[in-house]
Amino acid sequence: MFSKTLKDSLDIIEVASRYLPDLKSAGRTYKSNCPFHEERTPSFVIFPETQSWRCFGACVEGGDVISFVMKIEKIDFQQAIKLLADSVGIEVPRYNNDNANVELYNINESAYNFFHNFLLSENGLAARNYMINNRGVDHDTIMKFGLGLSPSDNRQLPRYLENLGFSNKQISESGLVFIREDGIPKDIFAGRLVFPIIDSKGKVLGFGGRTLNDNGPKYINSSKTKIFDKSSSLYGINLAKEGIADSGKVVLVEGYMDVLTAHQYGYDNVVACMGTALTESQVRYISVLSKQCVLALDADIAGSEATFRSIENSWKAFERVFVGKKNNVSLYKTTNKIDLRIAQFNSGKDPDEIIRTDKVSWEDHIDNSKPLLAYLIENAPRRWNILSNEGKQSATENIAPLILSLDNDYDREHYYGLFANTLNEDINVVKSAVISANKKNNSNNMPSFNQKINYGTIEKNDNSYLLEEHTLSMVIKWPYLFSLAENVDGSWFSIWENRQVFDILLKYNGSQEMIIENRTQLPGDVLSRIEDLGNIDLPNMTKSNREKAVKQCVLKLQERYLRGMKKEEASLWSNNSDLNNVPSEDLSHLQEKAIIVNDMLSDVFNKSTEKNSDI
């Protein structure tokens, strides 16, 4: 297959050296300062024998050449494949061409031109004056964002599209119209200012519309289509991608006007999630673009329970994964190293107004945005009645896992103090309450750090391909179980073809219907691979045993990945030349990280053993 051909054509040393001018040979390995965090001594190590890399410093992560390129270029798996293929002169298989999606893009592009030209015509004078005089949006910004206006006659857009040769079926599937009982399509944006929603590649996905006369809802969006879903789109990303890369952070606001104003005033790393809820797919995309995300919350929504739940769920889904237990307490760590922060404005103004009237305040709030944990702790009194013991207990049960997720003891101590101050309790009482709250459902004690751990044995004929194939086959045949594999890291798959399949499954949440609907956007060989995996015969199992089987395979994948980490770690320690001139505090850091990996692997093995005995 294409992936194997590409993998055989690449050398991780050659690829990494393009980005790491200080990469040098160090015995059996190559070392460099890590490109993903600041450090004084090299902790980034490449293992030529396994064609893998690992950071033994602050990152504590690694992978293969694909993972390296994804991380350093801030791109996804498919983009990394394309970049590497181009670098060695291998042609990437073309995607299938299905006219359905091509026509949707064409309709949107045509509608974009229609709306934009109408706003710039004499008919759009009043709307332009409103934007310039009432909202302060200048002409350059109108042009830059391609803003438009839809005529008040709700038949003009459909007639325009019909005259271009689009069928009624295509127009009705575009998300731009509603169909009356008589079957006649009507423009849903009639009489509204229109904001085109464009992806990072410049393709028009859909539109947002704002009323100019207070008739109907203030804002509406295109209906969900095969190419547009509001929950997975970011408004302004086409213009913000470079600004995000340059600044090292993405600033997320709620609405279209906030983005327009931000870019007009020079803040070109701002995008909008088009609502208060930050979705999983948006966070996944943001984590590829930047290590830091700042949520700029309006004062009127910052304290809402929906907002709390949204950002907590985003954190739990994409930044926190269970890594083990210490002293019978669950521990979590960040997987993608995204730093989620909150900028809370209490002036009663939205970001649009703040930027216009007080740029210093805007910059100060963004630069001094609070870590998510600090925000949640400080706002605990707005969610729970912390004057009562019951309220304090509820707050503690929610906050405990986040405090214990911190790797740095001093950070953890700081948040213990902050939480104690918020609850008006002694810090030792709060520490005890946090640990007790997190002991639920954790009944197995972990071995001490210096105790020898029996990790079990791996059969000599253990076949990586079969484990990965079996895992993928189950979640393809039983898509309702895909949620059990959502937190699997793509780097756990050693076979590139399988990793590519998992990447597609993750993108569409395991939904076979969505994969079929979007087949025009997917490589033909991957679609064939998904079909083959779905046709594998699996043993007859009850629903409960299916769940246990998927969980077991996920644990085995993680166990295998962690064993690889231990092997690389052992290789590093066995070669004294690799550790020459490393300061004692950095060696201590390496030892601490080794303990974490040790604990992770032990917990995975114990859980795997428990699951295996249940099946």
Percent of the chain with pLDDT over 70: 76
Residues 269 and 370 in one domain: yes
Domain of residue 477, CATH code: 1.10.860
Angle at 164 between CA 158 and CA 168, to 5 degrees: 45
Q: Is pLDDT at 330 greater than 50 in this prediction?
A: no
State the average pLDDT over residues 496-507.
85
Residue 426 and residue 477 in one domain:
no
In a domain, 427, yes or no: yes
Does 266 score more than 60 pLDDT? yes
Which residue(s) pair with 324 in the sheet? Answer: 331
Of the candidates 421, 420, 423, the one whose C-alpha atom is nearest the C-alpha of residue 383 is: 423
**Sorting pLDDT into bands at 50, 70 and 90, what band is 195?**
very high
Q: Check residue 465 and give its pLDDT.
A: 66
Nearest to 365 by CA among 342, 341, 343: 343
> Which carries the bigger pLDDT value, residue 388 or residue 608?
388
Q: How many CB atoms lie within 10 A of CB 97?
A: 8
- Count of domains in the chain? 4
Cα distance between residue 572 and residue 265, in whole Å: 50
How much is the pLDDT for 96? 46
Q: Which of the residue ranges 120-124, 331-335, 494-498, 505-509 has the most confident prediction, judged by mean pLDDT? A: 120-124
Whether 123 has a pLDDT exceeding 70, the answer reads: yes
Q: Dig out the tokens for 364 from the structure.
A: 């100060």
Contact assessment for residue 153 and residue 114, using Cβ atoms and an 8 Å cutoff: no
pLDDT band at 317 (very low <50, low <70, confident <90, very high): very low
Q: What is the pLDDT of residue 415?
A: 93
Q: Quote the pLDDT of residue 449.
A: 25
- 399 falls within a domain: yes
What is the percentage of the chain residues whose pLDDT exceeds 90?
27
Residue 191 and residue 331 share a domain: no
Q: Check pLDDT > 80 for residue 36.
A: yes
- For residues 612 and 560, which has the higher predicted lDDT (pLDDT)? 560
- Cα 305 to Cα 382: distance, rounded to the nearest angstrom: 9
When pLDDT is averaged across residues 234-258 and rounded to a whole number, the result is 91
Same domain, 385 and 284: yes
- Of the chain, the end-to-end C-alpha distance in Å amounts to 34
Mean pLDDT of the chain: 79
* Same domain (yes/no): 479, 536: yes
The pLDDT confidence band at residue 334, using thresholds 50, 70 and 90, is: very low
**Residues 359-388: what's their mean pLDDT?**
90
Tell me which residue of 558, 547, 521 sits closest to 614, measured CA to CA. 547
Say which residue, 159 or 49, is predicted with more confidence: 159
- Which residue, among 79, 118, 85, has the nearest Cα to 200 in the 3D structure? 79
Q: What is the pLDDT of residue 326?
A: 41
**Contact indicator for 209, 219 with CB cutoff of 8 Å:** yes
Give residue 200's identity as a one-letter amino acid code.
S
Best-predicted range by mean pLDDT (128-132, 297-301, 509-513)? 128-132
Contacts (Cβ under 8 Å, ≥6 apart) of 271:
234, 235, 236, 237, 240, 244, 250, 251, 252, 253, 259
Mean pLDDT score, 510-522: 75
pLDDT confidence of 398, banded at 50, 70, 90? confident
What pLDDT score was predicted for residue 99? 46
Q: How many CB atoms lie within 10 A of CB 84?
A: 19
> Are 192 and 153 within 8 A, CB to CB?
no
Last residue of a domain, one of 227, 248, 269: 227
CATH number at residue 72: 3.90.580.10
CA angle 231, 232, 237 (to 5 degrees): 120
Structural domain range at position 599? 464-614
The reported pLDDT for the residue numbered 298 is: 67
Same domain, 76 and 129: no
Does 561 or 222 have the greater pLDDT score? 222
Q: Choose the most confident range, by mean pLDDT, from 89-98, 156-165, 275-284, 286-295.
A: 156-165
Which two structure tokens, joined as six digits, stand for 284? 């996944």
Angle at 495 between CA 491 and CA 498, to 5 degrees: 85
Report if residue 147 sits inside a domain. Answer: yes
106 vs 322, more confident: 106
Instruction: Choose the final residue of a domain: 437, 454, 487.
Output: 437
Q: Same structural domain for residues 527 and 565? A: yes
Give the amino acid at 545: N
The pLDDT score that the predictor gives to residue 613 is: 46
Residue 445 counted as domain residue: no
Angle between helices 99-120 and 156-163 (to 10 degrees): 130
Residue 452 lies in a domain: no
How far is residue 64's CA from residue 489's CA, in Å, rounded to a whole number?
13
Q: In degrees rounded to 5, what are phi and psi of residue 45?
A: -125, 135
**pLDDT over 90 at 265, yes or no:** yes
Same-domain check for residues 379 and 432 = yes
Longest dimension (CA), the chain: 81
Boundary of a domain, candidates 87, 119, 140? 87
Reported residue count of the chain is 615
Scan for tokens 């004692």, then name that residue.
Answer: 584
Residue 448 covered by a domain:
no
Q: What CATH number does the domain containing 219 carry?
A: 3.90.980.10
| Residue 3 pLDDT exceeds 90 | no
Alpha-carbon 415 to chain mean position: 25
- Mark whether 11 and 121 lie in a shared domain: no
Q: 284 pLDDT band (50/70/90 cuts)?
A: low
| 443 in any annotated domain | no
Stretch 159-172: mean pLDDT? 92
- Identity of the highest mean pLDDT range in 150-154, 183-187, 592-596: 150-154
Q: Which residue has the higher pLDDT, 491 or 260?
A: 260
Which string of b and e fits 22-48 if b means at least 16 CB within 10 Å?
ebeebeebbbbbbbbeebeebbbbbbe
Whether 144 maps to a domain, the answer reads yes
Same structural domain, 242 and 354: yes
Same domain, 526 and 574: yes
The region of weakest confidence among 65-69, 142-146, 284-288, 350-354 is 284-288
Contacts of 554 (CB under 8 A, 6+ apart): 471, 484, 485, 488
This model's pTM is above 0.75? no
Would you give the DSSP letter of residue 445? P
pLDDT digits (tens, 9 = 90+) for 425-466: 999 999 998 888 876 534 333 322 222 222 222 233 345 568
* Band of pLDDT at residue 336, cut at 50, 70 and 90: very low
CATH number at residue 376: 3.40.1360.10
Residues 83 and 104 in one domain: no
Q: What is the pLDDT of residue 144?
A: 96
